[in-house]
Protein backbone atom coordinates (compact mmCIF):
# COMPACT_ATOMS: atom_id res chain seq x y z
CA UNK A 1 0.00 0.00 0.00
CA UNK A 2 1.14 3.56 -0.68
CA UNK A 3 -0.82 5.56 1.83
CA UNK A 4 -1.25 9.24 2.53
CA UNK A 5 -2.21 9.82 6.16
CA UNK A 6 -3.80 12.96 7.55
CA UNK A 7 -3.72 12.97 11.36
CA UNK A 8 -1.09 10.25 11.80
CA UNK A 9 0.91 12.04 14.46
CA UNK A 10 -1.59 11.29 17.21
CA UNK A 11 -4.42 9.13 18.40
CA UNK A 12 -6.12 6.65 16.08
CA UNK A 13 -4.10 7.96 13.12
CA UNK A 14 -0.86 7.15 14.90
CA UNK A 15 -2.06 3.64 15.68
CA UNK A 16 -3.27 3.04 12.13
CA UNK A 17 -0.06 4.37 10.55
CA UNK A 18 1.91 1.99 12.78
CA UNK A 19 -0.10 -0.97 11.53
CA UNK A 20 0.73 0.06 7.97
CA UNK A 21 4.39 0.59 8.92
CA UNK A 22 4.53 -2.89 10.45
CA UNK A 23 3.55 -4.32 7.06
CA UNK A 24 6.29 -2.38 5.31
CA UNK A 25 3.92 -0.03 3.51
CA UNK A 26 5.05 3.27 1.99
CA UNK A 27 3.69 6.29 3.84
CA UNK A 28 3.43 10.03 3.49
CA UNK A 29 2.20 12.06 6.45
CA UNK A 30 0.27 15.28 5.99
CA UNK A 31 -0.26 17.71 8.83
CA UNK A 32 0.38 21.15 10.22
CA UNK A 33 3.36 20.83 12.52
CA UNK A 34 6.60 20.00 10.68
CA UNK A 35 8.43 18.86 13.83
CA UNK A 36 5.60 16.51 14.78
CA UNK A 37 5.41 15.13 11.25
CA UNK A 38 9.15 14.53 11.22
CA UNK A 39 9.09 12.79 14.62
CA UNK A 40 6.24 10.52 13.54
CA UNK A 41 7.96 9.79 10.23
CA UNK A 42 11.04 8.59 12.09
CA UNK A 43 8.94 6.50 14.45
CA UNK A 44 7.16 4.83 11.55
CA UNK A 45 10.40 4.21 9.72
CA UNK A 46 11.88 2.53 12.79
CA UNK A 47 8.77 0.35 12.91
CA UNK A 48 9.24 -0.90 9.39
CA UNK A 49 7.60 1.60 7.02
CA UNK A 50 9.37 1.83 3.70
CA UNK A 51 12.06 4.52 3.99
CA UNK A 52 11.90 7.40 3.65
CA UNK A 53 8.49 8.20 5.10
CA UNK A 54 7.39 11.41 3.39
CA UNK A 55 5.92 14.47 5.03
CA UNK A 56 4.16 17.55 3.70
CA UNK A 57 2.22 20.41 5.22
CA UNK A 58 -1.55 20.40 5.15
CA UNK A 59 -4.21 22.09 7.24
CA UNK A 60 -7.62 20.44 6.90
CA UNK A 61 -9.18 23.83 7.52
CA UNK A 62 -7.42 25.42 4.50
CA UNK A 63 -8.42 23.72 1.23
CA UNK A 64 -6.29 26.20 -0.74
CA UNK A 65 -3.25 24.12 0.21
CA UNK A 66 -4.64 20.72 -0.74
CA UNK A 67 -3.32 20.56 -4.30
CA UNK A 68 0.22 21.23 -3.19
CA UNK A 69 -0.03 18.69 -0.39
CA UNK A 70 -1.44 15.96 -2.64
CA UNK A 71 1.21 16.73 -5.28
CA UNK A 72 3.91 16.44 -2.64
CA UNK A 73 2.45 13.11 -1.50
CA UNK A 74 2.34 11.86 -5.08
CA UNK A 75 6.00 12.78 -5.52
CA UNK A 76 7.01 11.16 -2.23
CA UNK A 77 5.16 7.93 -2.99
CA UNK A 78 5.46 7.91 -6.75
CA UNK A 79 1.66 8.02 -6.97
CA UNK A 80 -0.24 7.09 -3.80
CA UNK A 81 -3.13 4.62 -3.87
CA UNK A 82 -4.73 5.22 -0.47
CA UNK A 83 -5.84 8.20 1.60
CA UNK A 84 -6.55 7.85 5.32
CA UNK A 85 -8.06 10.83 7.15
CA UNK A 86 -8.20 10.53 10.92
CA UNK A 87 -7.51 14.17 11.71
CA UNK A 88 -10.31 16.25 13.14
CA UNK A 89 -11.40 18.57 15.89
CA UNK A 90 -13.58 18.02 18.90
CA UNK A 91 -14.36 21.21 20.74
CA UNK A 92 -16.19 21.58 23.99
CA UNK A 93 -19.78 22.05 22.99
CA UNK A 94 -20.30 24.84 25.54
CA UNK A 95 -17.41 26.81 23.99
CA UNK A 96 -18.55 26.14 20.44
CA UNK A 97 -22.05 27.30 21.27
CA UNK A 98 -20.80 30.75 22.20
CA UNK A 99 -17.70 31.15 20.03
CA UNK A 100 -18.70 31.41 16.36
CA UNK A 101 -15.11 31.43 15.12
CA UNK A 102 -14.29 28.21 16.97
CA UNK A 103 -17.47 26.67 15.60
CA UNK A 104 -16.65 27.73 12.08
CA UNK A 105 -13.19 26.25 12.42
CA UNK A 106 -14.63 22.96 13.68
CA UNK A 107 -17.01 22.76 10.74
CA UNK A 108 -14.27 23.75 8.31
CA UNK A 109 -11.94 21.02 9.50
CA UNK A 110 -14.37 18.19 10.16
CA UNK A 111 -16.68 18.79 7.22
CA UNK A 112 -15.63 21.25 4.53
CA UNK A 113 -11.92 20.45 4.50
CA UNK A 114 -12.33 16.71 4.79
CA UNK A 115 -14.98 16.65 2.07
CA UNK A 116 -12.90 18.77 -0.31
CA UNK A 117 -9.79 16.68 0.31
CA UNK A 118 -11.60 13.37 -0.23
CA UNK A 119 -13.37 14.66 -3.34
CA UNK A 120 -10.11 15.90 -4.88
CA UNK A 121 -8.44 12.62 -4.01
CA UNK A 122 -11.27 10.58 -5.51
CA UNK A 123 -10.80 12.39 -8.82
CA UNK A 124 -7.06 11.90 -8.65
CA UNK A 125 -7.34 8.18 -7.88
CA UNK A 126 -10.09 7.55 -10.46
CA UNK A 127 -7.96 9.18 -13.13
CA UNK A 128 -5.24 6.59 -12.57
CA UNK A 129 -7.39 3.53 -12.24
CA UNK A 130 -8.55 3.57 -8.62
CA UNK A 131 -7.55 3.36 -4.99
CA UNK A 132 -8.94 3.63 -1.49
CA UNK A 133 -10.25 6.50 0.61
CA UNK A 134 -10.78 5.88 4.31
CA UNK A 135 -12.14 8.74 6.40
CA UNK A 136 -13.13 8.76 10.04
CA UNK A 137 -16.61 10.00 10.77
CA UNK A 138 -18.28 9.24 14.10
CA UNK A 139 -21.29 7.63 15.72
CA UNK A 140 -22.08 11.21 16.76
CA UNK A 141 -23.24 11.81 13.18
CA UNK A 142 -25.96 9.18 13.38
CA UNK A 143 -28.39 11.23 15.45
CA UNK A 144 -28.61 14.78 16.71
CA UNK A 145 -27.84 14.71 20.42
CA UNK A 146 -27.95 17.59 22.81
CA UNK A 147 -24.43 17.08 24.14
CA UNK A 148 -22.60 16.80 20.83
CA UNK A 149 -24.80 18.08 17.97
CA UNK A 150 -22.31 20.61 16.56
CA UNK A 151 -19.55 18.05 16.13
CA UNK A 152 -22.24 15.51 15.22
CA UNK A 153 -23.65 17.72 12.45
CA UNK A 154 -20.26 17.93 10.74
CA UNK A 155 -19.85 14.17 11.05
CA UNK A 156 -23.39 13.52 9.77
CA UNK A 157 -22.56 15.57 6.70
CA UNK A 158 -19.29 13.75 6.29
CA UNK A 159 -20.97 10.33 6.55
CA UNK A 160 -23.54 11.30 3.92
CA UNK A 161 -20.81 12.62 1.65
CA UNK A 162 -18.77 9.43 2.02
CA UNK A 163 -21.78 7.29 1.22
CA UNK A 164 -22.42 9.22 -1.97
CA UNK A 165 -18.74 9.22 -2.86
CA UNK A 166 -18.77 5.44 -2.62
CA UNK A 167 -21.69 5.20 -5.07
CA UNK A 168 -20.20 7.76 -7.44
CA UNK A 169 -16.68 6.38 -7.67
CA UNK A 170 -16.83 2.64 -7.01
CA UNK A 171 -17.38 2.09 -10.71
CA UNK A 172 -14.19 4.02 -11.40
CA UNK A 173 -12.15 1.85 -9.05
CA UNK A 174 -12.20 4.05 -5.97
CA UNK A 175 -13.31 2.35 -2.77
CA UNK A 176 -14.59 4.54 0.01
CA UNK A 177 -14.72 3.53 3.66
CA UNK A 178 -16.53 5.52 6.32
CA UNK A 179 -15.35 4.55 9.82
CA UNK A 180 -17.66 5.40 12.71
CA UNK A 181 -15.90 4.99 16.02
CA UNK A 182 -17.57 5.47 19.37
CA UNK A 183 -15.70 7.05 22.25
CA UNK A 184 -11.98 6.41 21.80
CA UNK A 185 -9.39 7.22 24.45
CA UNK A 186 -7.18 9.73 22.65
CA UNK A 187 -5.97 13.27 23.12
CA UNK A 188 -9.22 14.40 21.52
CA UNK A 189 -11.35 13.00 24.33
CA UNK A 190 -9.01 13.62 27.22
CA UNK A 191 -10.74 15.03 30.26
CA UNK A 192 -14.17 13.79 29.14
CA UNK A 193 -16.05 11.29 31.24
CA UNK A 194 -15.88 7.85 29.67
CA UNK A 195 -19.18 6.46 28.39
CA UNK A 196 -19.78 2.70 28.06
CA UNK A 197 -17.93 0.86 25.28
CA UNK A 198 -14.98 3.27 25.36
CA UNK A 199 -12.13 1.88 23.28
CA UNK A 200 -8.40 2.26 22.87
CA UNK A 201 -7.03 3.55 19.57
CA UNK A 202 -5.24 0.30 18.62
CA UNK A 203 -8.27 -1.99 18.23
CA UNK A 204 -10.14 0.79 16.41
CA UNK A 205 -7.21 1.17 14.01
CA UNK A 206 -7.08 -2.60 13.49
CA UNK A 207 -10.78 -2.71 12.69
CA UNK A 208 -10.38 0.11 10.17
CA UNK A 209 -7.47 -1.60 8.44
CA UNK A 210 -9.37 -4.89 8.23
CA UNK A 211 -12.30 -3.02 6.71
CA UNK A 212 -10.00 -1.37 4.16
CA UNK A 213 -8.60 -4.77 3.25
CA UNK A 214 -12.07 -6.26 2.98
CA UNK A 215 -13.29 -3.40 0.79
CA UNK A 216 -16.12 -2.45 3.12
CA UNK A 217 -17.91 0.87 2.83
CA UNK A 218 -18.97 1.61 6.41
CA UNK A 219 -18.05 0.18 9.79
CA UNK A 220 -18.86 0.91 13.40
CA UNK A 221 -16.05 0.32 15.85
CA UNK A 222 -16.18 -1.21 18.39
CA UNK A 223 -18.82 -3.23 16.56
CA UNK A 224 -21.38 -2.94 19.33
CA UNK A 225 -21.98 0.69 18.29
CA UNK A 226 -23.81 -0.48 15.21
CA UNK A 227 -26.56 -1.87 17.42
CA UNK A 228 -26.41 0.92 19.98
CA UNK A 229 -26.86 3.54 17.26
CA UNK A 230 -29.61 1.54 15.58
CA UNK A 231 -31.47 1.66 18.88
CA UNK A 232 -30.78 5.36 19.38
CA UNK A 233 -31.92 6.16 15.85
CA UNK A 234 -35.17 4.37 16.59
CA UNK A 235 -35.96 6.49 19.65
CA UNK A 236 -38.79 8.95 19.17
CA UNK A 237 -38.01 12.63 19.59
CA UNK A 238 -40.01 12.97 22.76
CA UNK A 239 -37.70 10.39 24.34
CA UNK A 240 -34.54 11.98 22.92
CA UNK A 241 -35.67 15.30 24.33
CA UNK A 242 -35.59 13.86 27.82
CA UNK A 243 -32.28 12.08 27.49
CA UNK A 244 -29.22 13.86 28.74
CA UNK A 245 -26.51 12.82 26.31
Partner 1 sequence: MEPLSEPAPSAAEAPLERLSGWGRHPIGLGRVSRSERIVLPPGSAPVLPRGLGRSYGDAAVPGSRETLVIDVTRADRIIEFDAGTGLLTCEAGVSLAEIIRVFLPRGWFPAVTPGTKFVTVAGCVACDVHGKNHHRDGTFGRFVERLTLQAADGRQVVCGPSIERELFLATVGGMGLTGLITEVALRLRPVESAWIALETRNARGLDEMLELLRASAADWPYTVGWIDSLAPGSALGRGVMMRGRHASREEVAGRRVPPPRAIRVPVDAPAWLLNRYSVQLFNRIYHWRHGAPARRLVSYEEFFYPLDAVLDWNRLYGRRGFLQYQCVLPRAAGVRPVRAVLERIAASGAASFLAVIKDCGPGWEAYLSFPQEGTTLALDFPYRGPATEALVHELNALVIEAGGRVYLAKDAVTRPEHWASMMPRLGEWRAVRARWDPARRFRSAQSVRLLGDPA
DSSP assignment of 57-97: E--TT-GGGHHHHHHHHHHHHTS--EEEE-------HHHHH
3-state secondary structure of 160: helix
Residue 117 φ then ψ, to 5°:
-65, -45
Member of 2, 14, 155, 180 binding partner 1 (CB under 8 A): 14
CA-to-CA distance for 181 and 224, rounded, in angstroms?
10
Member of 191, 231, 238, 241 binding partner 1 (CB under 8 A): 191
CA-to-CA distance for 75 and 30, rounded, in angstroms?
13
Note whether 48 binds partner 1 by CB under 8 A. Answer: yes
Q: How far is the CB of 184 from partner 1 (least distance, A)?
A: 12
Segment near partner 1 (CB under 8 A); pick from 46-54, 145-153, 205-213, 215-223 = 46-54
Residues 102-141 that bind partner 1 (CB under 8 A): 102, 105, 109
The pattern of x and - marking residues 170 through 189 that bind partner 1 according to CB under 8 A reads ---------------x-xx-
Say how many residues make up the chain: 245
> Which helix H or strand E contains 174, and what residues bound it?
strand 174-181
Q: How far is the CB of 15 from partner 1 (least distance, A)?
A: 10
Q: How far is the CB of 109 from partner 1 (least distance, A)?
A: 7
Residues 134-163 that bind partner 1 (CB under 8 A): none
Note whether 196 binds partner 1 by CB under 8 A. Answer: no
Amino acid sequence: MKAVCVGATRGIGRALARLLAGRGDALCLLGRDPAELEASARDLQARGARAPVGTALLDLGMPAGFVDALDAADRALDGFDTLVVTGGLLGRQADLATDPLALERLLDVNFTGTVVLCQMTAERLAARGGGTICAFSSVAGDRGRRGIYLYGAAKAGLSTFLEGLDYAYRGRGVRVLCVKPGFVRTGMTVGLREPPFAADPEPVARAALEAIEAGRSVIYTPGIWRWVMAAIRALPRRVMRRLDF
